């Protein structure tokens, strides 16, 4: 092999002669792993590689040996909703505060709470004394027969056709008292020692079944119109808003920065900390010295240079293979429930020089010639709530300073769906159907919505005598209107006077002929539950069903699914939190209500 100087290599840029001794700016092989394996055939090749990486340039490539960080930290101090503000601390997770809902007091809850009180009395007072108190409570607060109904309405029919309620009543009906009634009686007194147990029971009942009512300043974050939670948090003079949270996992990316109040932030805590940086390492990273070799082949996710759609992978390959030696890591402590911002960083290298960094990507002037190429790239930043301005020229797509470290859980134990509703569009009639696919049975279990609906309709047919066939001489039968399953709840378009929206969907009711009259079919679960409200009419206090509205854009062609599940997590200091909440996902569910009007049906003979 002929010898050649480094200066000659630099002047030529390539090696002349045989093809085996050429240096080209790209590899000719489809597999990059061989080209990046740093196979050495002679020392001169190694010198060329060192020159290619700029090892012979007399630049100040000093390594950082000391770093000082000036940081500021603000704690999240309040939660806001619909203009109301509530104090907040990290003693409980944010998901629990936002998602918790009161349970519907079912027969299973009345029995479960009573059994819990019995166990409390037995463990504290002994068997004989507790049996005496249990007998008193059974006499004063007996369970009502929740399996019996008159059958006058569809809701009564749902109870009478629920075999699980009959089984539950047969087991506990006359052997247990009503635990919910005991809780509601604030004047109950059963002795000094038993009263202290009763106070503990009330706290347990309130925390488990009615957590929203347990706090005087609590409020419901669920927005029925949007099928999502709405909340805001404040930390000093910073405000953040989560306008559409429904995924079940709350984190920093759910929030948008809603602005700052004017004036000095008295709640910000400044710190100046010193660190010793350490080199960053990651699997398959090039060694810190070129004369060190990898023991394994370099893998970049089986990248193929023939696939032009993997441009991002090619950029990462270049970045890790050429600049990985310059990555340094310093620890930066962060507290739960805070907003952490770095005001400035002072870096001291091995040559004793200092470099001061104090600008975020938002503060860099991308139009300046001194800056060069800039696209305001940042990570873990919150966008502006008012990014889109009515005037397009004033759109603000910048991000806020600071890292939002919300007090949210990393993992929860989640139950099977306690209830599930599919919202589907009906373009032919311009309606939305709320289909209750999973319905609670009142006994801590669930029904299949379609199966339970068929059972109810069979009972309706038996009562109405719909098995009567048309006369034999008739060729057609006229159908004025047929019926839909009882687990299909309609939402009808309506314009609300004074609203800026053209159309919203209002929950309606399907009529069903039963017992010689039209009865309204109501929802069976909590997601679409009919809530009663009081109003004054002609000087008298009356009661009616509260209207329920749904925004049109929340249900698209592929449908929307809302699920209610029970969740539990263990928080800091080992405290356990239990709650039930809603999650929203794309449905992908397709069905046909079969609703028809004014149809002539040929009679089969």
What pLDDT, in 10s, does the model give residues 360-411?
766 665 555 454 445 566 677 888 887 777 766 677 777 888 889 989 988 8
Q: Are residues 298 and 372 in the same domain?
A: no
| 582: its two tokens | 């809603």
3-state secondary structure 382-434: CEECCCCCCCHHHCCCCECCCEEECCCCCCCEECCCCEEEEEEEECCCCEEEE
pLDDT in the model for residue 545: 87
Q: Are residues 200 and 298 in the same domain?
A: no
- Domain end among 378, 410, 442: 410
Q: Are residues 435 and 568 in the same domain?
A: yes
Neighbours of 23 (CB within 10 A): 14
Q: Are residues 14 and 120 in the same domain?
A: no
- Domain end among 180, 209, 238: 209
**pLDDT over 90 (residue 488):** yes
pLDDT in the model for residue 451: 92
- Mean pLDDT, the chain, as a whole number? 81
**pLDDT for 4-38, tens place per residue?**
555 554 454 444 444 455 666 666 667 766 666 66
**pLDDT for 196-230, tens place per residue?**
999 999 999 998 998 887 666 678 899 999 999 99
Let me know if residue 316 belongs to a domain: no
**pLDDT over 60 (residue 135):** yes
Count structural domains, the chain.
4
Query: CA angle, 173 as apex, 171 and 174 as ends, to 5°?
Result: 105
From 136-140, 180-184, 263-267, 413-417, the region with the lowest mean pLDDT:
263-267
**pLDDT for 285-315, tens place per residue?**
666 655 455 555 555 555 555 565 667 777 7
Most confident range, picked from 81-85, 110-114, 476-480, 574-578? 110-114
Let me know if residue 73 belongs to a domain: yes
Let me know if residue 283 belongs to a domain: no
pLDDT in the model for residue 16: 47
pLDDT in the model for residue 151: 76
Let me know if residue 592 belongs to a domain: yes
- Domain end among 374, 389, 410: 410
The position carrying tokens 């159309």 is: 503
Q: Are residues 37 and 119 in the same domain?
A: no
377 compared with 356, residue with greater pLDDT: 356
Q: Are residues 93 and 190 in the same domain?
A: no
Phi (first) and psi of residue 21, to 5 degrees:
-120, 30
pLDDT in the model for residue 18: 45
Let me know if residue 571 belongs to a domain: yes
Cα 492 to Cα 435: distance, rounded to the nearest angstrom:
14
Let me know if residue 319 belongs to a domain: no
Let me know if residue 445 belongs to a domain: yes
**Are the beta carbons of 260 and 229 closer than 8 angstroms?**
no
Q: Are residues 150 and 235 in the same domain?
A: no
From 83-97, 161-175, 353-367, 541-555, the region with the lowest mean pLDDT:
353-367
Q: Are residues 586 and 444 in the same domain?
A: yes
Contacts of 249 (CB under 8 A, 6+ apart): 95, 408
Q: Are residues 339 and 420 in the same domain?
A: no
| 579: its two tokens | 């709650």
Mean pLDDT for 270-276 is: 90
Cα 116 to Cα 122: distance, rounded to the nearest angstrom:
10
pLDDT in the model for residue 291: 47
Let me know if residue 282 belongs to a domain: no
From 60-64, 442-446, 552-556, the region with the lowest mean pLDDT:
60-64
Host domain of residue 565 = 413-602
Q: Are residues 507 and 395 in the same domain?
A: no
Q: Are residues 232 and 358 in the same domain?
A: yes
Cα 480 to Cα 50: distance, rounded to the nearest angstrom:
88
Q: Are residues 231 and 143 in the same domain?
A: no
């Amino acid at each position: 092999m002929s010898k050649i100087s480094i200066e000659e290599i630099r002047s030529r840029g390539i090696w002349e002669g045989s093809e085996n001794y050429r240096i080209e700016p790209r590899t000719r092989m489809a597999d990059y792993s061989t080209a990046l394996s740093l196979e050495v055939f002679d020392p001169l090749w190694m010198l060329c590689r060192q020159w290619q990486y700029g090892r012979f340039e007399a630049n100040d490539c000093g390594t950082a040996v000391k770093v000082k960080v000036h940081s500021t930290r603000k704690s999240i101090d309040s939660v806001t909703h619909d203009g109301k503000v509530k104090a907040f601390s990290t003693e409980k997770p944010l998901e629990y505060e936002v998602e918790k809902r009161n349970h519907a007091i079912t027969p299973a809850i009345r029995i479960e709470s009573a059994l819990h009180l019995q166990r409390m009395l037995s463990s504290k007072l002994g068997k004989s004394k507790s049996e005496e108190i249990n007998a008193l409570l059974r006499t004063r607060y007996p369970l009502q027969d929740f399996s019996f109904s008159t059958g006058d309405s569809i809701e009564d029919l749902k109870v009478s056709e629920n075999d699980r309620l009959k089984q539950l009543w047969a087991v506990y009906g006359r052997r247990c008292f009503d635990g919910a009634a005991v809780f509601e009686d604030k004047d109950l007194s059963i002795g000094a020692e038993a009263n202290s147990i009763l106070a503990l029971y009330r706290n347990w009942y309130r925390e488990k079944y009615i957590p929203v009512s347990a706090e005087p300043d609590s409020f419901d974050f669920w927005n029925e119109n949007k099928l999502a939670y709405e909340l805001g948090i404040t930390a000093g003079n910073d405000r953040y808003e989560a306008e559409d949270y429904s995924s079940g996992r709350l984190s920093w990316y759910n929030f948008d920065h809603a602005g700052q109040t004017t004036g000095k932030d008295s709640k910000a805590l400044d710190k100046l900390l010193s660190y010793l940086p350490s080199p960053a390492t990651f699997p398959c990273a090039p060694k810190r010295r070129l004369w060190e070799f990898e023991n394994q082949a370099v893998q970049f996710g089986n990248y193929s240079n023939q696939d032009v759609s993997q441009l991002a992978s090619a950029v990462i390959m270049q970045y890790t293979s050429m600049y990985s030696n310059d990555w340094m890591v310093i620890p930066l402590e962060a507290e739960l429930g805070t907003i952490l911002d770095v005001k400035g960083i002072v870096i001291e290298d091995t040559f004793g020089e200092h470099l001061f960094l104090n600008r975020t990507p938002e503060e860099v002037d991308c139009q300046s010639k001194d800056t060069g190429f800039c696209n305001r790239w940042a990570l873990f930043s919150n966008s502006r709530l008012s990014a889109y301005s009515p005037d397009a020229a004033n759109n603000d797509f910048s991000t806020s300073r600071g890292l939002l470290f919300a007090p949210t859980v990393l993992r929860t134990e989640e139950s099977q769906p306690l209830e599930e509703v599919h919202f589907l569009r009906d373009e032919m009639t311009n309606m939305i159907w709320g289909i209750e696919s999973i319905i609670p049975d009142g006994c801590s279990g669930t029904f299949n919505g379609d199966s339970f609906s068929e059972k109810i309709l069979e009972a309706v047919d038996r009562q109405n005598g719909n098995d009567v066939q048309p006369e034999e001489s008739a060729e057609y039968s006229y159908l004025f209107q047929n019926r839909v399953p009882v687990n299909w709840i309609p939402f009808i378009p309506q314009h609300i006077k004074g609203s800026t929206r053209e159309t919203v969907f209002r929950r309606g009711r399907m009529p069903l002929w039963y017992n010689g009259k039209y009865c309204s079919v109501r929802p069976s679960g909590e997601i679409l539950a009919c809530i009663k409200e009081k109003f004054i009419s002609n000087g008298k206090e009356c009661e009616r069903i509260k209207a329920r509205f749904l925004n049109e854009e929340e249900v698209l062609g592929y449908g929307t699914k809302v699920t209610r599940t029970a969740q539990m997590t263990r928080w800091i200091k080992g405290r356990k939190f239990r709650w039930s909440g809603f999650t929203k996902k794309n449905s992908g569910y397709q069905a046909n209500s079969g609703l028809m009007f004014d149809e002539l049906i040929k009679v089969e003979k």
